[in-house]
C-alpha cells in the first residue's frame, strides 16, 4: 500500500513526542516554547482528520463496523491482558492500576482509559472512535441539509468544511471554558474530551481539501512566525500545556489551547515535509520510519509496559549487585511514568525512548505475522 511520506514521518514525530512527554525529556521542546502537552495528542487527531473519507458517510454502518475491527477489537483484547497484569501486580504490592472487572474492561476505557495503568496512553483509541462516529453522524446530517442549497457541488463541499471548522472550534472553546469554571467532571469529561479534540480532526480534513495546496510559505518566514507566536504566548501565560484526556489545566484561557494546537502541528508538519522531500523511499532510514509509523498503535499501547520491564531489570540488578543505589523502588511500584535517571544523567532516558519505540514495533510485527499465518496469508 502506498503511504503518504509526510504524514508517515509526522506520525513518527508525534509518537516520539508522546514518549518524550511521558519521560519529561524536553529535547524537542525548543527553548520551552512548544510544550508537548499543548499539542502532541492533537497531532494524531489531525492525522485522522486528514485521512477521513467522506464517501464513508454513504454507508455509516459499514464504516463503524470497520472502525470497531481496526480500533476497538485490538484495544479490548489488550485491555483484558493488561487487566490481568494489573491484577497480578496489585497482588505483588504494586499500585499502578486497578483490578480487573467488568466495568474496567468495558466501561472505563470510554470514561478515562487509565484503568489498568500500563495501557493508559491507549485512552486515545476509544476516544478517537467516539469522535469519528460523532463526526460521521454530524456530516451525514449536514449533508442532508446542504443538498437543498443552491450551490455547485464544489462550493457546497468548500462551505461545509469551513462551516464544520467553525462549529467544531466553537465547541472546543466552549468545552475549555466550561472546564475552567469546573463544569467538566466525571462523565461530563466524555463529551468535553470529544469537543476539545474535534477542531484538530476538522483541521486535518480542511488541510487536505483546502490548505495543503497553498502551504508554500518559505521556511525562513514560516518557522520564525510560529516561534514568535508561541514566544508571545509563553511570556503572557504561565503554562501552555493541558491535559486532553482529563480536560484540565487550561491556565491560558479558552482560546490559547487551539492556537498552540495549530502552531505545534504546523511546526512538525513542516519538519515532516522537509524530511519527506529529502528521504528516498527505498532508503533504510525511510524504511525504519515507515515501520515505526505503521505501528503507532502498538507503541502507544505498550511503551509504558516496556518502561516497566526496564525498571524491573534495573531493580533486579540493584538487588543482586548493589548498583543503581538511587533507584526509587517506591516510585517503581506506584508510578507508571517513572523512569530512572542515575546520578541525574538525563541521557539515560534515551534507553527508555529507544526501547519504547522498538520493542512495541517488534511485538506488532510478530502479531501481524501470526495473524497472517492464521488467516492463510491474508492480513
Residues 8-41: tens digit of each pLDDT: 999 999 999 999 999 999 999 989 999 999 999 9
User: Which carries the bigger pLDDT value, residue 197 or residue 377?
Assistant: 197
Backbone angles phi, psi at 64, to 5 degrees: -65, -40
Query: What pLDDT does residue 373 have?
Result: 82
Instruction: Specify the pLDDT at position 154.
Output: 67
Decide: 121 and 303 in contact? Cβ < 8 Å.
Answer: yes
- Look up residue 211 and give its DSSP letter: I
pLDDT category of residue 74 using cuts at 50, 70 and 90 = very high
Torsion of CA 28, 29, 34, 40, to 10 degrees: 40
**pLDDT tens digits for 310-354?**
999 999 999 999 999 999 999 999 999 999 999 999 999 999 999
Average pLDDT, the chain: 93
Of 374, 377, 357, the residue nearest 11 (C-alpha): 357
Task: Check pLDDT > 70 for residue 2.
Answer: no
- Please state, in angstroms and as integers, the Cα–Cα distance from residue 319 to each residue in 87, 170, 256, 326, 329, following that order: 24, 55, 48, 12, 11
Q: Measured between alpha carbons, how far is 90 from 99 in angstroms, rounded to an integer?
A: 7
Residue 43 DSSP SS3: helix
Rounded distance between C-alpha atoms, residue 249 and residue 260, angstroms: 14
Backbone angles phi, psi at 334, to 5 degrees: -130, -20
Measured distance between the N- and C-terminal CA atoms of the chain, rounded to whole angstroms: 12
Contact residues for 56 (Cβ-Cβ < 8 A; gap 6+): 62, 63, 136
pLDDT, tens digit, for every residue of 233-288? 999 998 899 999 999 999 999 999 999 999 999 999 999 999 999 998 888 899 99
Percent of the chain topping pLDDT 90: 84
Predicted pLDDT at 144: 76
Does residue 92 have a pLDDT over 50?
yes
With H, G, I as helix, E, B as strand and everything else as coil, classify residue 321.
helix
pLDDT tens, position by position, 35-64: 999 999 999 999 999 999 988 888 888 999
What is the rounded average pLDDT of the residues 107-124?
A: 96
Of 123, 128, 127, nearest to 104 by C-alpha is: 123
Q: Is pLDDT of 219 > 80?
A: yes
DSSP 102: H
Predicted confidence band at 1 (pLDDT cuts at 50, 70, 90)?
very low
pLDDT value, residue 212: 94
Q: What is the pLDDT of residues 142-189, one digit of tens each?
A: 887 777 666 656 666 778 899 999 999 999 999 999 999 999 999 999
Q: What is the CA radius of gyration of the chain?
A: 22
Q: From the CB of residue 60, how many other CB atoms can be counted at a distance below 10 Å?
A: 14
Q: What pLDDT is recorded for position 281?
A: 82
Q: What average pLDDT does range 85-92 have in this prediction?
A: 96
Amino acid at each position: 500500500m502506498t503511504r503518504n511520506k509526510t504524514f508517515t514521518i509526522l506520525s513518527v514525530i508525534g509518537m516520539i513526542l508522546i514518549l518524550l512527554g511521558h519521560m519529561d525529556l524536553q529535547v524537542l521542546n525548543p527553548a520551552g516554547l512548544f510544550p508537548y502537552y499543548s499539542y502532541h495528542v492533537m497531532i494524531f487527531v489531525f492525522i485522522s482528520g486528514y485521512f477521513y473519507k467522506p464517501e464513508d458517510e454513504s454507508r455509516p454502518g459499514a464504516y463503524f463496523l470497520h472502525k470497531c475491527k481496526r480500533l476497538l477489537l485490538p484495544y479490548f483484547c489488550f485491555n483484558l491482558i493488561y487487566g490481568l497484569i494489573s491484577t497480578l501486580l496489585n497482588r505483588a504490592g504494586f499500585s499502578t492500576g486497578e483490578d480487573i472487572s467488568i466495568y474496567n474492561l468495558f466501561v472505563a476505557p470510554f470514561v478515562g482509559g487509565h484503568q489498568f495503568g500500563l495501557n493508559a496512553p491507549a485512552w486515545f483509541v476509544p476516544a478517537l472512535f467516539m469522535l469519528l462516529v460523532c463526526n460521521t453522524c454530524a456530516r451525514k446530517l449536514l449533508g442532508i441539509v446542504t443538498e437543498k442549497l443552491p450551490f455547485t457541488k464544489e462550493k457546497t463541499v468548500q462551505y461545509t468544511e469551513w462551516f464544520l471548522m467553525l462549529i467544531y472550534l466553537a465547541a472546543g472553546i466552549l468545552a475549555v471554558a466550561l472546564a475552567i469554571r469546573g463544569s467538566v467532571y466525571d462523565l461530563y469529561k466524555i463529551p468535553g474530551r470529544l469537543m476539545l479534540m474535534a477542531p484538530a480532526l476538522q483541521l486535518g480534513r480542511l488541510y487536505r481539501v483546502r490548505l495543503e495546496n497553498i502551504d508554500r510559505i518559505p521556511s525562513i518566514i514560516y518557522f520564525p512566525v510560529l516561534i514568535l507566536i508561541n514566544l508571545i504566548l509563553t511570556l503572557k501565560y504561565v503554562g501552555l500545556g493541558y491535559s486532553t484526556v482529563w480536560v484540565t489545566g487550561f491556565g491560558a484561557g479558552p482560546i490559547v489551547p487551539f492556537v498552540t494546537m495549530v502552531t505545534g502541528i504546523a511546526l512538525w508538519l513542516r519538519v515532516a515535509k522537509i524530511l519527506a522531500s529529502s528521504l528516498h523511499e527505498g532508503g533504510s532510514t525511510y524504511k525504519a520510519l515507515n515501520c515505526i509509523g505503521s505501528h503507532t498503535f502498538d507503541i502507544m499501547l505498550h511503551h509504558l509496559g516496556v518502561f516497566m520491564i526496564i525498571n524491573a531489570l534495573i531493580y533486579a540488578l540493584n538487588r543482586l549487585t548493589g548498583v543503581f543505589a538511587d533507584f526509587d523502588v517506591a516510585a517503581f511500584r506506584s508510578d507508571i511514568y517513572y523512569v530512572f535517571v542515575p546520578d541525574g544523567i538525563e541521557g539515560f532516558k534515551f534507553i527508555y525512548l529507544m526501547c519504547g519505540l522498538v520493542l512495541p514495533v517488534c511485538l506488532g510485527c510478530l502479531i501481524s505475522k501470526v495473524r497472517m499465518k492464521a488467516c492463510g496469508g491474508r492480513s
